[in-house]
Amino acid sequence: MGVFDIIGPVMVGPSSSHTAGAARLGKMARVILGESPTEATITLYGSFARTYLGHGTDRALVGGLLGFAPDDLRIKDSLKIATEEGLTFSFVISEQAADHPNTAEFSLQGASGNRIGVTGRSIGGGQIVITKIDSFKVEITGDYNALITIHEDKPGIIAEVSRVLSQENINIAQMKVARQFRGAEAMMVLETDHSISKQTLDTVKNIYGIRSAIVILPL
Amino acid sequence: MLEIKYIADLVIAADNAGKKISEIVWQWECEQSGVLAESIWEKMQARLETIKISAYTGKQQQGKTFNGLVGGDAYRMAQTDQLLGGTVTRAVTYALSVSEVNADMGKIVACPTAGSCGIVPGALLATAELLKSDNDVIIKGLFTAAGIGTVIAKNASVAGAIGGCQAECGSAAAMAAGAVVEMMGGTPRQVSQAVALTLKNLLGLVCDPVAGLVEVPCVKRNGFAAAHALVGAQMALAEIESVIPADEVIEAMNQIGLALPSSLKETSEAGLAKTSTALSITARILK
Ligand code: SF4
C-alpha cells in the first residue's frame, strides 16, 4: 500500500466497490474476450443485484466492457454509448446467494464470434478479482501482467511455459492451474512482474499442447 | 529503509531529520515504490488538479444528483458565511461540492474512500486560500494526509464495511486535520495531536447509508467533517493536547469497528437506513 492508495484512486463516483470496481470488472472481461463485445448478458448477485441502479453499477460494468477506465467520465452515459457502438446488453438480477456480495457474471460474444463467460467480484477500494473464466476457476486481480493459457492436461506443458518465460527473464509472481477433470483441458494463469511481449506470447502459443494463450496487461 | 507503521514513527522521523512529515512521507513513497521523487510529486500534482475541479464545480451546479437525493447544497452553503466565517464556510462548501460530484458520477479522488472524498479537499483548499499559498503547499498537505491515512489503514481500516463511518469520515477528518496543522506551520508533534483530537471525537460513527447509496448521510457528513478537521487543527495549533495519543486512538477505533454490529457497517440494515423516510426512498429508488 502506498500514498496513492490513500489519496486515490481517481475515479468516477459514487462508490469504489460498486462503480470503480465494476468498471474494472467490465474492462477485464473485455480484455479476456480479446476483442470488442457485441453481445453481453450480465448477471448480478448480492449487493450488486440490490443496489446496482443507485450506484450506477450497470453503467460502470457496461462502460468497462466498452474499454472505459474507472475515471472515464463517459461511464455516466455508457448505456447510450453502448447502443451507438453496437453492443447489445441485458442485465439479469439474481436472487441467488453468491460467494461474495459484489459479484458479476458476464456472458459475452465478440465481433468475430468469440464467446466467453467471465465471473468476478469487486472486493473493495476499486480492487477486483476474476474468479472464473468459462468453467475454469481462476484468480486474476488485474494488478499484474498475466498470461492465460488453455492447454491439454498432460505432463511437461507447464514446465515448458515457465521455461520460455524464464528465458525471457520474466519473473512469475503467481501461478494457478485449473482443469475440468483429469486429462481434459486445463487453464493456467500466470501473473508476472514483467510485461510479456508479443514474441514471447507467440512462442508460448507454439508449444505443443497449447490450444490458446492470451496476455493481459495490468488494468 | 524508512518504516512507517505508527503516527509516532512519522513524528520521530520528522524530528530526527529536521523535516516536515510531508517530506518524510514523500521520501517513504520513493523508497517503497522505487519511483523517482519528481514523478511521485507530479502524480500528486495531477491528483490535486482533479480535486480542485471537483471542489469548485458544486458552487455553480445547483441540480440534484441522478438519484435525486442530494445536490445543490454546496451552492447553498456558498451563499452565506454569516455565522462561521470564510475559512470554515469554504471548507464545508468544497467538501459538499466534491461529495456531490461523487454522488452524481463525476470524477473524484478517493480520499481515503469515495464516500469520504470531500473532507481532505475541503479543509486543505480552504486553508490554502486563507494562507494565499500555492499548489506546492497543498501537495505537501496531501502527502501528510496520505501518511496519516496509511497508518490508519495499517492498524485499523478505512473501509465503512469494516470499521463503520468512523473509519471513512473519521479517518479523512484526522488526515485533513494533521495536514492543515502542517500547512499552518505547526510541528510534527502538533500534527499528531490534531490526528488524536480529531479522530477521537468521531469514534463510534456508524455507517448506515439510506438505500445503500453514498448520498445520505454521506454528502452532508463530508461538510461537517471538514469543519471538524479545522477545529481539531486549531486546537492542536493552540497547544491543546489529547490525553490519549494518536496511535492509541487509532487502536481504539479499530476495536470499536470490530465491536460494531454488521448492521451498522454499510449493510443498511439499521440506523438511518431503517427510518420510515429511508424505507420509502429505498422502495422508490430500488424499484
Ligand atoms: S455513511 Fe457509510 S457510505 Fe456514507 S460516507 Fe460514511 S462510511 Fe461511507
Instruction: Give per-residue pLDDT as tens, B23-48.
Output: 999 999 999 999 999 999 999 999 99
Mean of per-residue pLDDT scores for chain A: 92
Task: Output B33 or B91, whichever has higher pLDDT.
Answer: B91
pLDDT surpassing 80 at residue B246: yes
Write the pLDDT tens digit of every residue in A62-117: 999 999 999 999 999 999 999 999 999 999 999 887 778 899 999 999 999 999 99
Q: How confident is the model at residue B66 (pLDDT cuts 50, 70, 90)?
A: confident
Give me A209's grid cell.
499442447
Instruction: Provide the residue ranges of all domains of chain B, joining segments of one domain with +.
Output: 7-286
Find out whether the peptide bond into A155 is cis, omega within 30 degrees of 0: no
Q: Phi, psi (5° rounding) for residue A148?
A: -120, 130
Residue written as grid cell 499528531: B192
Is A213 a residue whose pLDDT tops 80?
A: yes
- How high is the pLDDT of residue B64? 85
What is the CB < 6 Å shell around ligand 1? B 115-116, 160, 165, 168-169, 207, 209, 214, 217-218, 266
Percentage of residues in chain A having pLDDT higher than 70: 100
**Residue B99 Cα to chain centre, angstroms:** 11
**Position B30, amino acid:** C
Q: Which chain A positions have a beta carbon within 8 Å of B50's beta carbon?
A: 10
Test A6 with B212 for CB contact under 8 angstroms: no
Most B CBs within 10 Å, among A1, A4, A7, A55, to test the B interface: A7
pLDDT at A181: 78
Mean pLDDT of chain B, nearest integer: 95
Which of A7, A75, A125 has the CB atom closest to B146's CB atom?
A7
CA-nearest of B216, B145, B205 to B176 is B145
**Domains in chain A, start-ordered, CATH in brackets?**
3-134 (3.30.1330.90), 145-216 (3.30.70.260)
B120 chain-A contacts, CB cut-off 8 A: 7
Give percent of chain B with pLDDT exceeding 90.
88
- Thinking of the domain B7-286, which architecture would CATH place it in? Orthogonal Bundle (1.10)
More reliable by pLDDT, B268 or B98: B98
Residue-level pLDDT at A80? 97
Q: Which of B67, B105, B153 sits opposite A6 (nearest CB)?
A: B153
B287: pLDDT strictly greater than 70: no
CA nearest to B42 within chain A: A4
Q: Min CA distance, B244 vs chain A (Å)?
A: 25
Whether residue B115 lies within 8 A of chain A, CB to CB, comes out as yes
Q: How many CB pairs under 8 A join A and B?
A: 127
* ipTM value: 0.96
Please check whether residue B182 is in contact with residue B191, taking contact to mean a CB–CB distance below 8 angstroms: yes
The pLDDT value given to residue A167: 92
**B247 at interface of A, judged by CB pairs closer than 8 A:** no
User: Does the structure show a pLDDT above 70 at B155?
Assistant: yes
